[in-house]
Amino acid sequence: MIEEREYWKKLFGNKLYNEIVCSQTVSNKFSIQPETWGNAKLEGIFAEVDEFIFSDSYEFLGDEVFGQFYYLYLETMIKYGSAKCYTFFQMSEQPEKNLSKIFINKIRNIPLRVLLHDMYAQKKQGNLRGKNASEEYEFYNHSFLGDLGHVRALSRSYPEMHRLLLKQAEQISQFVNWIATALTEDKPEIVREICQGKDYKKIRWIKTGLSDSHNGGNMVAKVFWITGK
């Protein structure tokens, strides 16, 4: 037990360990009161993703705790964003990779408690393989979270978690497209006042997570474009 506790502390960090591992048991309502929200387009895309096709945009998932879980939601986000964020995709140098990073930074903590609960449920049923917590985690991450069917089952068992993840996808899509649209419409003033007369054609990167405005989930972001500003 001491070895397992130390492993999870190292994996999550002390703060997340205390918040997640030492928290109360997860309920199928995700311990949050459900809200009235739905997006048929996002739900449709989520239902259509039927295989893992990893690209450079998702390479960072290997460094995420329970990284395999996020693939289905990231793929849903990218497909939705490519349709809804036309201006952003036109202006961005690496739209898929940038959108993926923004999304994962916003959602990474949402499913952790559910996934840890599910992993231990699988362990209790004798479904995990491994000599220690590290090996069991690797087995769970690849064998269970690498199975789209299992991830979909979790989304059905924890509908509030699923709703929160898709709602973030919708809000982030709106946010980055708003930034790209503003950069297009206000370009003459931005070039004159900020870029010292140097033109820009592409967004190099959008960095979010600086702060939250508590206004409809909007974020504060720093925008880098080709001039380096």
pLDDT higher than threshold 90 for residue 189:
no
Instruction: Kindly state whether residue 44 falls inside one of the protein's structural domains.
Output: yes
CB 130 within 8 Å of CB 136: yes
167 C-beta neighbours (distance < 10 Å), count: 17
Which residues in the chain belong to E strands, given as ranges?
203-212, 219-225
| Confidence (pLDDT) at 29 | 43
pLDDT higher than threshold 90 for residue 220:
no
| Confidence (pLDDT) at 7 | 72
The Cα-based distances of 60 to 30, 98, 139 in angstroms read 27, 12, 19
Q: How far apart are CA 171 and CA 163, in angstroms?
A: 12
For 35-49, the pLDDT digits (tens) are 445 688 889 999 998
Instruction: Kindly state whether residue 16 falls inside one of the protein's structural domains.
Output: no
DSSP 8-state class, residue 26: P
pLDDT higher than threshold 70 for residue 58:
yes
Instruction: Kindly state whether residue 78 falls inside one of the protein's structural domains.
Output: yes
**Greater pLDDT, 40 or 53:** 40
pLDDT higher than threshold 70 for residue 53:
no
| Confidence (pLDDT) at 213 | 44
**Greater pLDDT, 85 or 193:** 85
pLDDT higher than threshold 60 for residue 31:
no
Residue 52 belongs to what domain range? Answer: 40-197
Instruction: Kindly state whether residue 24 falls inside one of the protein's structural domains.
Output: no
Could you give the number of structural domains in the chain? Answer: 1
For 65-104, the pLDDT digits (tens) are 899 999 999 999 989 988 888 888 888 888 888 888 888 9
Q: What is the pTM of this model?
A: 0.78
User: Angle formed by the axes of helices 40-48 and 70-84, to 10°?
Assistant: 130
For 203-216, the pLDDT digits (tens) are 776 777 655 544 55
Instruction: Kindly state whether residue 205 falls inside one of the protein's structural domains.
Output: no
Phi-psi domain of 102 (left: phi exceeds 0; alpha: psi -120 through 50; beta: other): alpha
Instruction: Kindly state whether residue 62 falls inside one of the protein's structural domains.
Output: yes
The mean per-residue pLDDT over the stretch 190-209 comes to 73
For 106-157, the pLDDT digits (tens) are 898 899 889 988 998 998 899 999 988 889 999 999 999 999 999 999 999 9
CB 2 within 8 Å of CB 89: no
Instruction: Kindly state whether residue 217 falls inside one of the protein's structural domains.
Output: no
Instruction: Kindly state whether residue 174 falls inside one of the protein's structural domains.
Output: yes
Q: How far apart are CA 176 and CA 10, in angstroms?
A: 34
Phi, then psi, of 92 in degrees rounded to 5 = -85, 140
| Confidence (pLDDT) at 66 | 92
